[in-house]
């Protein structure tokens, strides 16, 4: 589904992403791990055409994401609170996002009922603007809005950050269901090795913009990653 070729991004003379070749297959759930500065978020931003690579290309269904737009019809993402419209209430934001994808208010309301457990009575009917919610609850709003778009490709940057343990577990269930029920290709970056090895089929370990390991997840993956980061 996604093919990366000879990709480089350089800031102030420093190469922050340097990937010769990488493929993400349809229906895979893939975790990107690495220390700060590994290049995970930069890679996601190039994948979403938020920044341009200096060299190389990213193809989504064989279309270059920086030259064509059709990939936007089946791609959804949440990277940070900058993706939100913080002067809206959550209800207003969900209705706005739904309208962009030809969903009526009734469709949006039906969708939100399915996420009552995930929201844990902390999001809807609170009479608050998005900017007044905690970082964790803003994450819930952004993730739910991305999934509501029924994407074939979902990109989430640090989705487990700032979530309480109960919500982290519920999020993992949502991600698994997206794969099992809808065959969504999901890309997740995270510093939490336990969560990504638990939910992902495949782990990409990056360091200073380079892919160090590309692992199919099994019972030894977590130990292998912990050993690497302990060195």
CATH of the domain at 33: 3.40.50.300
Spell 35-55 as b/e; 16+ CB within 10 A means b: eeebbbbbbbbbbbbeeebee
Residue 22 located in a structural domain: yes
Q: What is the structure's pLDDT at 146?
A: 96
Q: What is the structure's pLDDT at 42?
A: 97
* CA 29 – CA 13 distance, rounded (Å): 33
Give pTM, 2 decimals.
0.95
Q: What is the structure's pLDDT at 231?
A: 81
Question: Computed from CA positions of residues 154, 46, 168, 195, in that sequence, does the dihedral angle turn out positive or negative?
Answer: positive
Residue 209 located in a structural domain: yes
Q: What is the structure's pLDDT at 123?
A: 96
Q: How far is CA 33 from the centre of its chain?
A: 13
Q: How many domains does the chain have?
A: 1
Four-point Cα dihedral 80, 86, 91, 95, nearest 10: -80
- The angle, 0 to 180 degrees and rounded to 10, between the axes of the packed helices 105-113 and 135-148 is 120
* CA 189 – CA 33 distance, rounded (Å): 6
| pLDDT (tens digit per residue) in 31-80 | 999 999 999 999 999 999 999 999 999 999 999 999 999 999 999 999 99
Residue 145 located in a structural domain: no
Q: What is the structure's pLDDT at 40?
A: 96
Residue 171 located in a structural domain: no
Mean pLDDT per 10-residue section of the chain, whose length is 231 residues = 97 95 96 95 97 97 94 96 96 96 94 91 94 96 95 97 94 94 95 95 96 96 95 81
Q: Closest Cα partner for 128 from 84, 97, 95, 90?
A: 90
Residues of the domain holding 191: 1-74+185-231
Q: Number of helices and strands (H, E) in the chain?
A: 8, 10
């Amino acid at each position: 589904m996604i093919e990366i070729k000879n990709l480089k991004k350089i800031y102030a003379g420093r190469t922050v992403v340097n990937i010769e070749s990488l493929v993400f297959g349809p229906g895979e759930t893939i975790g990107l791990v690495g220390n700060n500065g590994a290049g995970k978020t930069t890679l996601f931003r190039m994948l979403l055409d938020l920044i341009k690579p200096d060299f190389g290309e990213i193809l989504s269904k064989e279309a270059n994401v920086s030259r064509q737009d059709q990939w936007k019809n089946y791609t959804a993402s949440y990277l940070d609170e900058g993706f939100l419209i913080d002067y809206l209430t959550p209800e207003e934001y969900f209705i706005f996002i739904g309208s962009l994808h030809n969903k009526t208010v009734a469709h949006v309301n039906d969708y939100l009922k399915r996420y009552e457990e995930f929201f844990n009575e902390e999001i809807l009917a609170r009479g608050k603007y998005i900017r007044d919610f905690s970082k964790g609850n803003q994450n819930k709003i952004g993730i739910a809005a991305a999934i509501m778009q029924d994407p074939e490709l979902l990109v989430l940057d640090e989705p487990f950050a700032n979530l309480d343990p109960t919500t982290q577990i519920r999020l993992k269930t949502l991600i698994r269901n997206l794969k099992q029920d809808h065959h969504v290709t999901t890309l997740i970056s995270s510093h939490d090795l336990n969560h990504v090895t638990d939910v992902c089929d495949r782990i990409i370990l990056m360091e200073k913009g380079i892919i160090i390991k590309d692992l199919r997840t099994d019972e030894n993956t977590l130990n292998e990653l912990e050993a690497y980061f302990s060195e």
